Amino acid sequence: MLDYSTDNIYSHHMAKLVAWHRRYTRFWKQSALFCDLRWPVFFNSDTPDHRGIVGHGEPGFLNAVTGKTYSFDDGIAIGQKIWNLDNAIWTLQGRH
């Protein structure tokens, strides 16, 4: 999926990666204000399986602070709505 060759740059996998990134950043980073230096954490050398906490870390912290019950997928869905609203506003402003 992360093949940056010219053959793969317009592939379905890269489109999925960009879509996920836009949705993730619109909610978890720009709305819930998770730090750019720490999130997302895909790899953690301090754990036995080297897995990061993306997917369960963000909602755990957000729910503890706000008292809400967001799941990771809820955040991605909200991020998609924010991204669509941004695009609608940009289109109304005449941006291409």
71: confidence class by pLDDT, cuts 50, 70, 90: very high
* Average pLDDT of every residue of the chain: 87
Distance separating alpha carbons of residues 1 and 46, to the nearest angstrom: 25
Q: Lowest mean pLDDT: which of 33-37, 44-48, 54-58?
A: 33-37
DSSP string computed for 26-47: IIIITTS---TTT----B-TTS
Q: DSSP label at 9?
A: T
pTM (whole model) above 0.85: no
What are the extents of the domains in the chain? 12-92
- What is the total residue count of the chain? 96
Distance separating alpha carbons of residues 59 and 61, to the nearest angstrom: 5
